Amino acid sequence: MYAILDIETTGGQFNEEGITEIAIYKFDGHEIVDQFISLINPEIPIQPFVVKLTGINNEMLRGAPKFFEVAKRIIEMTSDCVLVAHNASFDYRILRTEFRRLGYDFNIKTLCTVELSQRIMPEQPSHSLGKLVRALGIPMADRHRASGDAMATVKLFKMLLDKDLEKTIVKELIKFEVIKGIPTKLLDIIESLPSKTGIYYIHREDGTIIFIGQSKNIKKRVNQHFTGITRSAKKIQSEVFTVTYEETGSELIASLKESEEIKKNRPIYNRMARKNTFSWAIYAEKDQNGYLNLKLQKADGRKKEITAFVNQQEGKAAISRITTTYQLCPKLTGLSDAKTACSQFALNECDGACIDKITPEEYNFRVQVFIDKNLFENKSMIIIDKGRKTGEHSAILIEKGIYKGYAFYDLNYQIHTPEILKNILVPMPNNRDTRSYIQGYLRKHRVLKIINF
């Protein structure tokens, strides 16, 4: 659990400042579960430049509670939490100073979103809160007021969690939770998970990820791990400390994240065979008569594949659909081994490429339409699909055939060009697996929109 906060102060000499406003949002990594926002009477005057910056003046604070009156609520809000703030050392120092004046030693683990953004998004020219939220399209109200800045920090922190592919932040939280002694019963873990689409991470007590998976129903899938009787399921059940998760809304993003994060984190109980997931592919080759033949073959990295499949059965089903959709000859797509005309020619469902009844140019035009539609090479597009919640969409960027990454965006932040999208993108590597996942998904599913550019 995280306590994300922002503090406004009177300004003045170091360690003599007083708090004028505080906002704390209790955040479980997915949503806000509690909040506390209050003006504070600092019992000392506010510096004029601070009044100009925040709009908070001495008159506004006369009837506000003093710090000792809200101290108990602050402790309740931050207890058993990691304190998160933009420039956390400042907010933490101010809180410790105020509590020290009351004779209480306020001690808590902290995370700084300035340092996290510098590490996770080093490409950003500025890591100040105002410039970061503008660059990342994070809506912000009441700048330089505690509630507005704290809410912007919540949204920034959520984006940093998304971009942290190595799960450094979550692993650190789990180490902290071990110290707190959080219970580890399997039923408790399952109850804490959502029945939503996303990716999940099964951790040992030291935070190590031992399994990564994705599902349309995270709770149901993890329950299968915890009730399974296979050797690997039994090992997971004996070693699990907790399960963390990320909702994606989009099944495609869940598959892409799973593929990449298994490679990055190398969990011991994920199947090693995943790196060769797409073992069959369609290739196009000209025969001696000049006709383009589509061939379903074992994947061969030396050849230029059009699209790939998990197994031969899926590939054969796809070849059959392609043959019908593009009015191709079953003999030239490998569905018929006839020596002369294919069986479909007699039924008037093939126009005779198998026996040279039409020219290679006429036939190859239809094959090329299929190739152009499915080959990623030189394609540039944004795939828009559903997001994690109402009012949000997901976007996947492909530029000149290269998969660049994904993002989630508020519907008020319209995506029309790759330049806008790149500011909020979670960068991802481009490889054969990612291309195959995207091609396979577009073959089988309808997305909200595809923007070609």
Instruction: Give 193-228 pLDDT, tens digit per residue.
Output: 999 999 999 999 889 999 999 999 999 999 888 888
Q: How many domains does the chain have?
A: 4
Q: Are residues 345 and 386 in the same domain?
A: no
- Per-residue pLDDT at 442 exceeds 90: no
Supply the pLDDT for residue 337. 85
Note whether 88 and 22 are same-domain residues.
Answer: yes
For 324, other C-beta atoms within 10 Å of its C-beta total 13
Which pLDDT belongs to residue 216? 93
Q: Over pLDDT 90: what percentage of the chain? A: 42
Question: Looking at the structure, do residues 221 and 347 belong to the same domain, yes or no?
Answer: no
Domain-terminating residue out of 163, 189, 222:
163
Residue 283: pLDDT band with limits 50, 70, 90:
very high
Assess if residue 434 is contained within a domain: yes
User: Does residue 149 share a domain with residue 260?
Assistant: no
Q: Is the pLDDT of residue 97 over 80?
A: yes
Task: Note whether residue 168 is domain-resident.
Answer: no
**Closest CA relative to residue 251, chosen from 202, 289, 216:** 216
CATH number where 118 lies: 3.30.420.10
52 and 140 share one domain: yes
- pLDDT score of 212: 94
Percent of the chain with pLDDT over 70: 97
Name the range with the highest mean pLDDT among 176-180, 282-286, 439-443: 282-286
Exposed/middle/buried for residue 386 (C-beta within 10 Å: 0-12, 13-18, 19+): middle
Reply yes or no on whether the pLDDT at 284 is more than 70: yes
Q: How far apart are CA 33 and CA 29, in angstroms?
A: 10
Same domain? For 70 and 157 the reply is yes
Instruction: Give me 383's structure tokens.
Output: 């795939």
* Bridging pattern class, strands 402-410 and 392-399: antiparallel
Residue 342 and residue 421 in one domain: no
Residue 170 lies in a domain: no
Q: Answer yes or no: do 194 and 286 share one domain.
A: no
Of 16, 22, 4, the closest CA to residue 145 belongs to: 22
Supply the pLDDT for residue 344: 85
Give the whole-angstrom CA distance, residue 83 versus residue 109.
Answer: 6
Q: Which helix (H) or strand (E) holds 320?
A: helix 312-325
Has residue 91 been placed in a domain?
A: yes
CA gap 259, 433 in Å, rounded: 8
The Cβ-side half-sphere exposure at 66, using a 13 Å CA radius, reads 6
Q: Is a pLDDT exceeding 80 seen at residue 54?
A: yes
Tell me the one-letter amino acid at 133. V
Expressed in percent and rounded to 5, the helix, strand and coil fractions of the chain are: 40, 20, 40
Give the model's pLDDT for residue 182: 54
Give the contacts of 337 (CB within 8 A, at least 6 positions apart).
331
Structural domain ending residue among the three candidates 307, 337, 371: 371
Written as one string, the DSSP assignment of 190-250 is HHTS-SSSEEEEEE-TTS-EEEEEEESSHHHHHHHHHH--SHHHHHHHHH--EEEEEE-S-
- The answer on pLDDT for 172 being more than 50 is yes
- Radius of gyration (C-alpha) of the chain in whole angstroms: 28
**Residues forming a β-bridge with 246:** 199
Measured CA to CA, the distance from residue 354 to residue 339 in angstroms comes to 9
SS3 186: helix
pLDDT band at 273 (very low <50, low <70, confident <90, very high): very low
Q: Which residue has the tokens 């703030």?
A: 85
C-beta separation of 222 from 198 below 8 A: no
Reported as type and span, the H/E element at residue 69 is helix 67-78
Rounded-to-integer distance, Cα 148 and Cα 131, Å: 14
Phi-psi sector, 105: left (phi>0), alpha (psi -120 to 50), beta: beta
The sign one gets for the Cα dihedral 213, 216, 217, 223 is: negative
Model confidence at 13, pLDDT cuts 50, 70, 90, reads confident
Q: Are residues 16 and 133 in the same domain?
A: yes
Q: Which residue has the higher pLDDT, 423 or 429?
A: 429
pLDDT at 165: 81
Q: Is 166 helix (H, G, I), strand (E, B) or coil?
A: coil
Whether 47 is in a domain gets the answer yes
Q: For residue 268, which of 204, 206, 318 has the smallest C-alpha distance? A: 204
pLDDT at residue 227 in the model = 85
Position 177 scores a pLDDT of 67
Give residue 322's domain range. Answer: 280-371
Nearest to 240 by CA among 226, 228, 230: 226
In a domain, 134, yes or no: yes
Show contacts of 366-372: CB within 8 Å, 24+ apart.
366/326, 366/327, 366/328, 367/284, 367/292, 367/294, 367/326, 367/328, 368/292, 369/326, 370/294, 370/306, 370/322, 370/325, 370/326, 370/328, 371/284, 371/306
Choice among 126-135, 256-265, 350-359, 409-418 with the minimum mean pLDDT: 409-418
